[in-house]
Structure 1
């Protein structure tokens, strides 16, 4: 496994989705239902936006040839939404400056995940930038809440579990979410295969792509 593949795992939904669920349940348990609802609504909205953008392209070829956009990067969104919050809440509330530094480290790690998706040719710049922006729209407002409880022990243990899972072989779960999205796109659209990067069903693509044969594909996302 290359170092970019390892970095990319920090945005893998198979690892971060359980972390997002844990955060919601932990907040309810700590008696902060308002923070829990904020987290659930914001994270669910971001996840649905990413899912909708992927389904639109895979099932119906709706995207942007000009921006080389086939859907928001799920890895970038997951990393930018979960990692800053997880690290921020791992610092005691009294250590506010250290908490901001921890949140900044989470943002930096999310950016690195985005770079890894570019290095692996899994996404375009527009897809990564969009995914990071959507994720930060979840994490930043949540971190700015004054009433969110901190849980150093719980968050550190969660981070340790996450780090341990990253180095364990889980080939059966890594990448499974994309396969499920492909199957869902074919089911909803009634097609026997998904659209691939370079295939555009819409007619508003940039002139540079207009003369290309629509059957010619680039790497899939």
Structure 2
């Protein structure tokens, strides 16, 4: 349990969102405008879908009770989208076989993050599976669309940027759940329930 609680932090929004932005900046810096737009659109669309499902459930109770589904797992989506995209960029000059291995490794990482969400008991199987599927669509679509293109830019700068983000692991996760709750209650007109325990402050670290 301690391992999974630590591992799942690799997909916290305060790390993965800046990392996704870093990929976009890296592409823009290389003047690869089409891949930049593709990545921004694909990843942005994935985030919108995740947020929409969660706001819909909080504000209007939209979900699938039979599947214990209340919203797409953001951790699973972000990890399964970013890891393959990062591998596709870093390995674009390698052989097709190495590229495929890299993509599979990226997908495996995303699935492992999904498993960690189950291990820390913050998501159901349906929420994790939907997150992994959505993330895989984003990551693999991006990798497929740039497969025959070499983006000329110093990859060391991308790796340095990733390493520079590592200190955020010592920070508390961004309160994204609270933000979505505020939006959901505002849009739906529902009154936000009063907190009666400290349970929410504990569990939101892992959402």
Q: Same fold (TM over 0.5)?
A: yes
Cα distance in 1 for partners of 2:168, 2:150 equals 27
Cα distance in 1 for partners of 2:14, 2:107 equals 20
Quote the offset at 1:100 in angstroms: 2.5
Cα distance in 1 for partners of 2:25, 2:166 equals 20
CA contact 2:14–2:168 (8 Å) conserved in 1: no
Is 2:104 aligned against 1:104?
yes
Structure 2 SS opposite 1:45: helix
Question: Larger Cα Rg: Structure 1 or Structure 2?
Answer: 1
Cα distance in 2 for partners of 1:187, 1:148 equals 46
CA contact 1:32–1:148 (8 Å) conserved in 2: no
Quote the offset at 1:56 in angstroms: 0.5
Match of 2:171 in 1: 170
Match of 1:39 in 2: 39
Cα distance in 2 for partners of 1:131, 1:28 equals 27
Cα distance in 2 for partners of 1:148, 1:137 equals 22
Cα distance in 2 for partners of 1:49, 1:143 equals 20
Is 2:166 aligned against 1:147?
no
Structure 1 SS opposite 2:68: coil
Match of 2:164 in 1: 161
Structure 1 SS opposite 2:44: helix
Quote the offset at 1:153 in angstroms: 1.0
TM-score, reference length from structure 1: 0.80
CA contact 1:71–1:127 (8 Å) conserved in 2: yes
Match of 1:64 in 2: 64
TM-score, reference length from structure 2: 0.85
Match of 1:202 in 2: none
Match of 1:206 in 2: none
Match of 1:117 in 2: 117
CA contact 1:92–1:152 (8 Å) conserved in 2: no
Question: Which deviates more from structure 2 when the two are superposed, residues 156-165 or residues 134-143?
Answer: 156-165
Deviations 1:31-82 (A, max 9, x none): 2111111111111111111111000001110101111100100000010111
CA contact 1:35–1:148 (8 Å) conserved in 2: no
Task: Tell me how many residue pairs correspond in the alignment.
Answer: 193
Task: Give the unaligned 5+ runs of structure 1.
Answer: 195-218
